[in-house]
Amino acid sequence: MSKESIEVYKEFETDIIPPSWKDRIWDKKDFKEWYESTVKDKKAKEEWWEKRANEIFWFKKWNKVLDDSNPPFYRWFVGGETNLAYLATDWQIAQGRKNKLALIWEGEPWDEALQQPKEVRKFTYYDIHRISNVISYALKEKLKVKKGEILTFYLPMIPELPFYMLAAQRLGAKHSIVYSGFSADALATRAIDGGARIIVTADGFYRRGRIISLKPIVDEAVKICAQNGLKIEKVIVIKRTGQDIPWNNETDVWHHEFIKDVPQNVHILVEKCGSEDFSYILYTSGTTAAPKGAQHSIGGYAVALYTTMKLIFDVREDDIYWCTADIGWVTGHSYIVYGPLMAGLTSIMYEGAPDCPGPDRWWNIIQRYGVTIFYTTPTAIRMLMKFPEELVRKYDLSTVRICHSVGEPINPEAFKWYYKNIGREDIVASSTWWMTETGQMLTGHFPGLGKIFPLKPGTNGYPIPGVTMEVLDDDGNPCKPGVRGYLAITSPWPGMLMTLYKSPQRYIDVYWSRFKGKMYFYTGDFAIKDQDGYIWVLGRADDVLKVAGHRIGTAEIESAMIKHPAVAESACVGKEDPVKGQTPFIFTVLKQGYSPSQELANELKMHLRNTIGPLVASDTTIAFVDSVPKTRSGKIMRRLLKAIIAGATLGDVSTLEDGVAVEEAKKAYESVKAALERK
């Protein structure tokens, strides 16, 4: 999104507080003062978070709210003891939610004759408690899973994924979830890094009416692990589709066989985990090829989720909540599983694609369950807004009272469409900014805040109370309002990652060393703070792409490309895409003996699919060039390449790259342009 988009929003600016924003829990007359008091100084900030921590359950309270004696290794609620599985089920039951529906799961296949989904599974808090205890028992007794072990899950959107997550947490074990759109290579790399002994997967799942296989990918990953000295002892397979799958008697066990003889009423004593112990690792992409294992805490993470569920989603007992993300990404970890369960909500979980059997499936789901809180992505909105508005109007969506988005900047058209068609130009809607590393939403518009900071659609709103963020220039000084800079988080927050798994130095280098002399967290995003203090996140400032909201590093793509025998070199940049936000555009130099052809381009895409996963392969463009333009110091001229595919002319590009002579840039432009035109 460009700076100009801010102008587009002018027409939206309003002093009106939408009616449904009034009278909320955080509404106070002296709101602004109160808001500012939560970030006034370190003491005030800690007091605010301590109050929030007091709202959740602890086996033992903390001795210290924040240990900042060894920055950037901040530790929250030190000495406290709790457990994410306990908070998600036992604590809910203790609060009277035993028979409340916690999860409504809907499979993708649609029954045309009955005009309803073929499968719906519903689970109360007690059901989830029971099932996750049974799984915990089997993991503990049969596979000797102990506190501290990391289990790898490669699962689609089926209820067993949250059940296994909770079963692991119950034992004080940790999970490392790999999104089911990743390849065997990617799964193996992550399993090896986490030292996995056990992988949990499914035979397959439904997507856009097709069955997608998972088990052969896991088998391949198990082989790669073995070649790298890691023996995967057990692969637990959940039967979702019933398709034929390859089977290995030595390692494989069906989930239903695994738990069959466990007494249904078994109760596993929950492990009292240290607040500053870790709950999971989730790998995310950065500017180098090796994925980074963001390691999250237990206590601080729990407080962060509970607080943001209340602040940003304004949860009430009778809400029907639906976050459309995949649990394989952080949004699903925090806001499909742990956050909503901890808040005692009834959530929807949907297996499949938004446009199956037709592009009104989501609106149908909202109507059928009376969804009140809806959380989705700009990519999905842009995809669905291509269809006639009547498709939405056909449905009664009036139950929705909050609709937020996440994952990428939301462009004006998409926001307008979302706000009008889903939000009835009335309800709370905003773009909540956060990252895998932050664990929790850090900005947004939320009920109550509207009193002093009226809705400014398209912005990322304000940092939540108790969080400090700035837009900084290269030297770490705040930019003037309206001037683009780097988004930084200037003090620790409870949901923050603790470190990068087994890579503490990398943690310091990547996130905490960007601004000399200042212990600020560098997000990697460009942003603007406007004259009213609203944050506009513009997109990544580094070489990370967001393809349909999925985070992927250009370095990962380039490193996969180079593994193909035909490729001498490649440079990947993001190409703007009207639906997916960005897609990979790969300038590729071939080795001698290979010549450009459509077949080779297709083969390279297939190669990407096999090495990274389907998530990058579908909309990738491969463009063959004779050379990739570089600066004299050997850096790829990425900005120039980006400008070329965006259609810039020679005049626009000559000053793009630092340290590049105008002539050099022009030459690079001409040669790349010529190569693209030959194509």
Instruction: Count other C-beta atoms under 10 Å from residue 96's C-beta.
Output: 11
Residue 436 vs 611, nearer CB to ligand 6R9: 436
Which parts of 265-294 interact with ligand 6R9 (CB under 6 A)? 284
- Examine residue 491 and tell whether it contacts ligand 6R9 (CB under 6 A): no
Local structure of 276: helix, strand or coil: coil
Nearest approach in angstroms of CB 211 to ligand 6R9 is: 27
- Examine residue 540 and tell whether it contacts ligand 6R9 (CB under 6 A): yes
Candidates 96-104, 229-237, 311-319, 520-528: pick the segment binding ligand 6R9 (CB under 6 A). 520-528
Residue 590 vs 615, nearer CB to ligand 6R9: 615
Residue 357: is the preceding peptide bond cis (ω within 30°)? Answer: yes
CA-only gyration radius of the chain, Å:
25
Nearest approach in angstroms of CB 443 to ligand 6R9 is: 8
Report the run of H or E that residue 192 belongs to, with start and end: helix 184-194
Residue 300 vs 409, nearer CB to ligand 6R9: 409
In 107-224, beta strands by DSSP E: 110-111, 116-117, 120-124, 150-154, 174-177, 198-202, 204-207, 210-213
Residue 117 vs 485, nearer CB to ligand 6R9: 485
Candidates 168-176, 301-309, 517-525, 639-647: pick the segment binding ligand 6R9 (CB under 6 A). 517-525
3-state helix, strand, coil in the chain (%, to 5): 35, 25, 45
Nearest approach in angstroms of CB 397 to ligand 6R9 is: 22
Nearest approach in angstroms of CB 96 to ligand 6R9 is: 32
CA distance 309 to 446: 11
Which parts of 542-581 interact with ligand 6R9 (CB under 6 A)? 546, 551
Close Cβ partners of 652 (under 8 Å, ≥ 6 residues apart): 643
CA distance 560 to 368: 44
Candidates 16-24, 152-160, 518-526, 572-580: pick the segment binding ligand 6R9 (CB under 6 A). 518-526
The residue sitting closest to ligand 6R9, measured at its beta carbon, is 436
- One of 176, 307, 436, 588 touching ligand 6R9 (CB under 6 A): 436
CA distance 567 to 601: 11
Handedness of CA 505, 408, 185, 557 (dihedral sign): negative
- Examine residue 241 and tell whether it contacts ligand 6R9 (CB under 6 A): no
Nearest approach in angstroms of CB 335 to ligand 6R9 is: 9
- Examine residue 493 and tell whether it contacts ligand 6R9 (CB under 6 A): no
- In Å, what is the CA distance from 369 to each residue of 180, 364, 372, 381? 27, 9, 9, 20
- One of 524, 553, 574, 581 touching ligand 6R9 (CB under 6 A): 524
Residue 172 vs 450, nearer CB to ligand 6R9: 450
Close Cβ partners of 490 (under 8 Å, ≥ 6 residues apart): 468, 469, 470, 518, 520, 521
Residue 407 vs 476, nearer CB to ligand 6R9: 407
CA distance 161 to 103: 12
Which parts of 43-72 interact with ligand 6R9 (CB under 6 A)? none
Nearest approach in angstroms of CB 492 to ligand 6R9 is: 18
Candidates 379-387, 428-436, 601-609, 629-637: pick the segment binding ligand 6R9 (CB under 6 A). 428-436
Residue 27 vs 542, nearer CB to ligand 6R9: 542
Place of tokens 């009008």: 420
Nearest approach in angstroms of CB 354 to ligand 6R9 is: 18
Residue 514 vs 540, nearer CB to ligand 6R9: 540
- One of 241, 460, 490, 570 touching ligand 6R9 (CB under 6 A): 460
Nearest approach in angstroms of CB 640 to ligand 6R9 is: 22
Residue 329 vs 362, nearer CB to ligand 6R9: 329
Residue 10, amino acid: K
- One of 185, 525, 556, 664 touching ligand 6R9 (CB under 6 A): 525
State the binding string over 176-215 for ligand 6R9 (x if CB under 6 A, else -).
----------------------------------------
CA distance 266 to 135: 10
- Examine residue 407 and tell whether it contacts ligand 6R9 (CB under 6 A): yes
> What distance lies between CA 143 and its chain's CA centroid?
30
Dump the DSSP string for 615-660: HHHTT-EEEE-S---B-TTS-B-HHHHHHHHTT--HHHHTT-STT-
- One of 198, 535, 537, 552 touching ligand 6R9 (CB under 6 A): 537
Which parts of 306-335 interact with ligand 6R9 (CB under 6 A)? 329-331
- Examine residue 406 and tell whether it contacts ligand 6R9 (CB under 6 A): yes
Strands 292-297 and 497-500: antiparallel
Report the run of H or E that residue 462 belongs to, with start and end: strand 462-463
Closest CA to 130 of 105, 110, 159: 159
Candidates 77-85, 342-350, 413-421, 519-527: pick the segment binding ligand 6R9 (CB under 6 A). 519-527
Candidates 181-189, 414-422, 430-438, 475-483: pick the segment binding ligand 6R9 (CB under 6 A). 430-438
CA distance 501 to 232: 20
Nearest approach in angstroms of CB 436 to ligand 6R9 is: 3
Nearest approach in angstroms of CB 263 to ligand 6R9 is: 39
Buried b (16+ CB within 10 A) or exposed e, 177-209: bbbbbbbbbbbbbbbbbbebbbbbbbbbbbbee
CA distance 68 to 85: 27
Nearest approach in angstroms of CB 441 to ligand 6R9 is: 8
Residue 596: is the preceding peptide bond cis (ω within 30°)? Answer: no
- Examine residue 376 and tell whether it contacts ligand 6R9 (CB under 6 A): no
Interface residues toward ligand 6R9, by CB under 6 A: 284, 329-331, 406-409, 431-436, 460, 523-525, 537, 540, 546, 551
